[in-house]
Amino acid sequence: MMPPPDLQLYLGIMTGTSLDAIDLAVCRFEGIRVELLRFQSTPWTAAVREKLFNLATSDFVRMDDVARLHFVLAREYARAVNETLQAGKIDAGDIRAIGLHGQTVRHLPLEGATLQLGSGTALAVLTGIDVVSDFRGADVALGGQGAPLMPMFDYAFLKSETSDRATLNVGGIANITWLPKSAREDEVVAFDTGPGNMLLDLVCQKYFHEPFDQDGLRARSGSISGVFLSEMLGHSYFALAPPKTTGRELFGAPFIAPMLEAVDRGELRAEDALATLTELTARSIAESFRFTSSRGPVNEPSSTVGDRSSTFELIMSGGGTRNTFLVERIKTNAPNANVISSDVFGIPVSAKEAIAFAFFAKAFLEEIPIHLPRTTGARTRATLGSLAKAARLS
């Protein structure tokens, strides 16, 4: 006999724009409570990461590479699933479904297109577990940007009846969800604020041969270039009202090419570039609250965050949460934000997105829409995802 749906386990898989690892979370959901049974982060192999980076950044790609990687990723996901279940002493038969985000290699929201690699059908066969994937496609077909998807998770698990809240996830790209106290669904605001860790990691890898700026120590030792910061903050994306999403296509290496050239010429230290990019992330996050109000979205910037008359809780997650210098700069630029780690709410900062995709798999099976059309721009709500049934091999 199958256990009741709310006692079954779900597994979420998330791989983001940072291209650092496969994050997996095994969860049990009971109402608005989530129990994280196992979280594991499995690094990409150097070869796979290089291929993914090339696909995500090259103007022209070989279709053979796209086709191969679609199935290579399924095998990598299956390996990570099996390792996670084995380490957690969890039987695959106890997992009702896997929620798979897939690896984004192109996100073109203004053209109504997005592409995540990693075959859900192959993963279902390889693991013997049903897989729900392709969460963004239906939203795009309905005129939305296919993102953000996190707001529905935030609304379900993190809204408050007593205080205004915002959630902030700083991965390769940073995104926020605004949750006014006692929020209705149509009062939620969510969008990508701009670059998160992605450009910082690029500079660290290029000049220091390190994967990231540990605790922001290198950025802390640098000086902010007012000229480059002003030029970057002048990008039209930051003034664009939501709904909006972005990615490596807009905020990749070409975006900071002039600053990198200055470093190469010896006119700017690499530490100064890191300090400037840290400030760019912090400032763009803080200034994004111009697009929120006490009761939800606004069509035009209402004020700077520093002019807000009341404080609000800012719940942080993602890898950027561990960059202490970045967190300090966010607090300085958003003085009315009471910054709290998502750990406080039982949602580990590194696991939040994987947990969310476990929840999205559950929602799909229960025919619960997981997007808020006002945040994505879709014309109407729909059940997002595509189900691949596991092949029971004999």
Taking 3-state DSSP, the helix, strand and coil percentages for the chain, each rounded to the nearest 5, stand at 45, 20, 35
Per DSSP, helices labelled H in 159-305 are 198-207, 217-220, 226-233, 236-239, 248-251, 257-264, 270-287
**Residue 128: inside a domain, yes or no?**
yes
pLDDT of residue 241: 92
**Residue 235: inside a domain, yes or no?**
yes
pLDDT of residue 7: 58
* Same-domain status, 161 and 114: no
Mean pLDDT estimate for the chain: 91
Residues of the chain above pLDDT 90, percent: 80
- Residues contacting residue 312 through CB under 8 Å, at least 6 positions apart: 163, 164, 165, 166, 336, 337, 338
Classify the C-alpha dihedral 192-176-338-299 as positive or negative.
positive
Name the pTM for this structure: 0.90
pLDDT of residue 22: 96
**Residue 394: inside a domain, yes or no?**
no
Classify the C-alpha dihedral 258-269-330-212 as positive or negative.
positive
* Same-domain status, 166 and 297: yes
* Same-domain status, 202 and 249: yes
Q: What CATH number is associated with residue 27?
A: 3.30.420.40
Mean pLDDT, to the nearest integer, of 268-278? Answer: 98
pLDDT of residue 255: 97
pLDDT band at 126 (very low <50, low <70, confident <90, very high): very high
* Same-domain status, 97 and 222: no
Helix (H) or strand (E) holding 374: helix 373-376
**Residue 210: inside a domain, yes or no?**
yes
* Same-domain status, 308 and 363: no
**Residue 12: inside a domain, yes or no?**
yes
* Same-domain status, 298 and 159: yes
**Residue 157: inside a domain, yes or no?**
yes
Mean pLDDT, to the nearest integer, of 82-110? Answer: 94
pLDDT of residue 393: 55
* Same-domain status, 169 and 315: yes
**Residue 393: inside a domain, yes or no?**
no
- Residues contacting residue 76 through CB under 8 Å, at least 6 positions apart: 22, 44, 45, 48
* Same-domain status, 104 and 242: no
| Count of domains forming the chain | 2
Location of structure tokens 């190469």? 264
pLDDT in tens, 244-261: 999 998 999 999 999 999
* Same-domain status, 212 and 339: yes
Domain limit, last residue, from 315, 330, 345 = 345
pLDDT in tens, 27-68: 999 877 899 999 999 999 999 999 998 998 888 889 999 999
pLDDT band at 382 (very low <50, low <70, confident <90, very high): confident
**Residue 181: inside a domain, yes or no?**
yes
CA distance 354 to 101: 9
* Same-domain status, 213 and 356: no
pLDDT of residue 307: 42
Residue 307 token pair: 């002019």
pLDDT in tens, 292-339: 866 544 445 444 443 445 789 999 999 999 999 999 999 999 999 999
pLDDT at 103 over 80: yes
CA distance 163 to 30: 24
Q: What is the 3-state secondary structure (H, E, C) of 61-127?
A: CCHHHHHHHHHHHHHHHHHHHHHHHHHCCCCHHHEEEEEECCEEEEEEHHHCEEEEECCHHHHHHHH
pLDDT band at 80 (very low <50, low <70, confident <90, very high): very high
Mean pLDDT, to the nearest integer, of 2-23? Answer: 81
pLDDT in tens, 143-166: 999 988 999 999 999 999 999 999
pLDDT of residue 57: 87
Q: Which domain holds residue 367?
A: 5-146+351-388
Nearest to 183, CA basis, from 296, 290, 292: 296
Mean pLDDT, to the nearest integer, of 363-390? Answer: 91
* Same-domain status, 135 and 193: no
* Same-domain status, 43 and 155: no
CA distance 376 to 371: 7
Q: Where are the beta strands (DSSP E) in 312-373?
A: 312-317, 337-341
